[in-house]
Structure 1
Amino acid sequence: MHDYKKICLFLFVISLIIFFLIFAFYLSKDLSPLSTNIPPSSSSETEKIILPERTNILVLGDDARPGEGRSRTDTIMLISLEEKSKQMAILSIPRDTRVAIPGRGYDRLNAAYAYGGADLTIQTVAELLDLEIHYYIHTNFDGFKDIIDTLGGVTINVDRNMYYPLEGIHLKKGEQLLDGDKALQFVRYREYPLGDITRTEQQQRLLKAIANETLQLSTFIKLPKLLPQLEAAVDTNFSITDALLIVRLAKQFESPDIVTQTLPGTFQTINGIEYWQVNIDEAKKVVRDLFKGITTSQIFISPAS
């Protein structure tokens, strides 16, 4: 059983490296997921999305400190791979999105993980977007602190001075090599005009930095040390067969067509709680369009529009 787990972890690490190769290819083009200005489709259909040969993976990241137990998820992304067209679609879902959580009523989406773990989160997102989710990857940002240190740090351009003493955040503006602790400060900072919407972009920038480090030949030499760190930081429902399938699928994405999108919505306060309010029919349409390679640059929708 121990050997089986090690094989799964090894295959998963390889698939992650392949994924980072793909992600780095996309990000090297310096395309912002919020800058693509293609008009959305005019379709008003809301029927269930039926897309064969598409693999949907829900990526969840939480910010729980050691000893805190299960917490609310900080990052929620849907990665969808379509083998025939070699398309990868990445949908970022703001954690404060107001959703109906089965058995719990309306709440912020990030509460689903605290209530019922990955299973309830998958069910909630699947109902929100009206699609099937096949796999999940859950990680704790604190666990990636050691991984980033093992990689030797990540180089990133901090685009502003980040100072928030209550969270121990103190970063100066400019390009710099961030160790694991400073990288966590970078992704935890949220004092932006659009709050978590901008924070999602920053998390994607950190992914780019990690991807760049992963591409280094020295990463393979560090695998023996990275394996136990990944085991501690990552939880997934991938079986060994699934891992092999994803590796095979990812290898086909040599020159992928990758589209990204943040789920559009508007800020709304209900009973003193601020939510990211999404129109359900519009959410399904955004997913349908995204799977066709169509994105929208209008992420914040004015309540008056």
Structure 2
Amino acid sequence: MTKRTKRTILWSVIGIGVVVAAFVAYYFIAIYNQVDNFQKKGEESPFYNVQPTETKAPEPPKWEGTERVNILLMGVDARGLKKGEVPRSDTMLVASIDPVTKKGYLFSIMRDTYTEIPEHGSDRINTAITHGPKTAMQAVSDLLGIPIQYYVYTDFQGFIALVDAVGGIDFYVEKDMHYTSKADNHEYDIDLKKGQQHLDGKTALQYVRFRHDAMSDYTRTERQRNFLKAVAEKMKSTTSIMNLPSILEKVNPYIDTNLSVQDMWKLATVGYDTQMMASEQIPPMELLVEKHVGGSSVLGVRSEEELKKYVQDVFNKTDAADPSGSSTDGKDNGSSDSGNSSKKSGQTGSVSKNSNDTQGTKTADSSGGNSSGK
């Protein structure tokens, strides 16, 4: 090999290295810039009108990266509201991750759960967010008996943007779903057919919003947990990782959070290898009791101490998982690829709950807030 040939190869390798380095630098800078803008400040924050009234709410506990981290996920319907108005949360979930065992858990909180809202008396838990994110985090922390370090807040459009940004989700729809509403000018009508489908943002929103069946909000929260697990799996794919800067850019306008860039980086490194172990409804059926407050039906908790123990028992049941990652108690562990295992959970989701059909329908349809069509 001549010196000229060696020099040509050397410069080619250096050139390739420079291109790769430039791409990597662009990739991480683009991610950093988008993530850094997730924390909305001033009038860009959806809570800028309520922040002065939230001064009594305690600061969320800090996460050091080695203990369990709990994140409150809140989805709202902001249609028809003026800038600065905060709607009641339509969806409230808590994602819990143990960074040591790499095991994750997902809890969906029934929005009509009647509980103590710090500094604001007792009310449905979906009203907590109207007093600010710190109040909502503390209310959920008090209810579940676990610290809530972070929150992520979005609305319908943010959900649609996320699903579209990852290229949609292949998912099994367990039944025909149909609902129309003149109040929305039919913009959010629901029309889905049973079977395996590719759901884009709008059809995915239809799926997670549907509650017009015997078990109403009970089965809807289960659908939401199953679908979010499918989204999480899709986010782990090579294509989604490569497109992460673009995905973040598309959802950025609709997201607000107290997560810093450093927090998100720590969570990303932990979350990628985390296995979903359990997906639960709060309150569970055995601790749920129907109440009437001010002429409206709400969901009470039979015993708050038992509820806190139930949450801890969910964390401690990890030994029941079989080698394939599915729990031996019949719970869906969320390890499906893009929602394929949801076919099973969708078909069996209401089993053992039929004795509560009447209660479920009556209670869920009486929920407050701007929840038309959900």
1:226 to 2:247 alignment: yes
1:30 counterpart residue number: none
1:111 counterpart residue number: 127
2:170 counterpart residue number: 155
Judge conservation of contact 2:211–2:220 (CA < 8 Å) in 1.
Answer: yes
Cα distance in structure 2, aligned partners of 1:271 and 1:203:
29
2:4 counterpart residue number: none
Please list, as runs of the form range in 1=range in 2, the aligned pairs for 1:1-305 lying within 5 A after superposition. 7=32, 9-10=34-35, 53-65=67-79, 67=81, 69-114=85-130, 116-166=131-181, 167-251=188-272, 253=274, 256=275, 258-263=277-282, 264=284, 265-278=288-301, 279-293=303-317
1:177-227 alpha-carbon deviations (Å, 9 max, x no partner): 222212111111111222211101111232244235434433244334322
Q: How many residues align?
A: 259
Name the amino acid aligned to 1:200. Answer: T
How far apart are 1:106 and its partner, in Å?
1.6
Judge conservation of contact 1:63–1:142 (CA < 8 Å) in 2.
Answer: no
Once structures 1 and 2 are overlaid, which stretch shifts more, 256-265 or 3-12?
Answer: 3-12
2:10 counterpart residue number: none
1:27 counterpart residue number: none
1:79-116 alpha-carbon deviations (Å, 9 max, x no partner): 222233333222221111111112222211001112x1
Judge conservation of contact 2:117–2:139 (CA < 8 Å) in 1.
Answer: yes
Name the amino acid aligned to 1:260. Answer: S
User: RMSD of aligned C-alpha atoms?
Assistant: 3.1
Cα distance in structure 2, aligned partners of 1:162 and 1:190:
9
SS at match of 1:192: coil
How far apart are 1:231 and its partner, in Å?
1.0
Name the amino acid aligned to 1:59. Answer: L
| Structure 1 unaligned spans of 5+ | 14-51
1:49 counterpart residue number: none
Once structures 1 and 2 are overlaid, which stretch shifts more, 66-75 or 161-170?
Answer: 66-75
Judge conservation of contact 1:192–1:199 (CA < 8 Å) in 2.
Answer: no
Cα distance in structure 2, aligned partners of 1:70 and 1:5:
30
Name the amino acid aligned to 2:126. Answer: N
Q: Measured at CA, do residues 9 and 252 of structure 1 come closer, stay the same or move farther in structure 2, by a change above 3 Å? A: same
Q: Measured at CA, do residues 81 and 146 of structure 1 come closer, stay the same or move farther in structure 2, by a change above 3 Å? A: closer
- TM-score (structure 2 length as normaliser): 0.61
- TM-score (structure 1 length as normaliser): 0.74
Cα distance in structure 1, aligned partners of 2:276 and 2:235:
21
How far apart are 1:8 and its partner, in Å?
6.0
Cα distance in structure 2, aligned partners of 1:10 and 1:237:
11
Cα distance in structure 2, aligned partners of 1:247 and 1:11:
15
Choose between structure 1 and 2: higher strand proportion.
Answer: 1
Q: Measured at CA, do residues 160 and 218 of structure 1 come closer, stay the same or move farther in structure 2, by a change above 3 Å? A: same
Q: Measured at CA, do residues 212 and 251 of structure 1 come closer, stay the same or move farther in structure 2, by a change above 3 Å? A: closer
- Identify the structure with bigger relative contact order (alpha carbons < 8 Å, sequence gap 6+): 1
1:33-66 alpha-carbon deviations (Å, 9 max, x no partner): xxxxxxxxxxxxxxxxxxx822222111222237
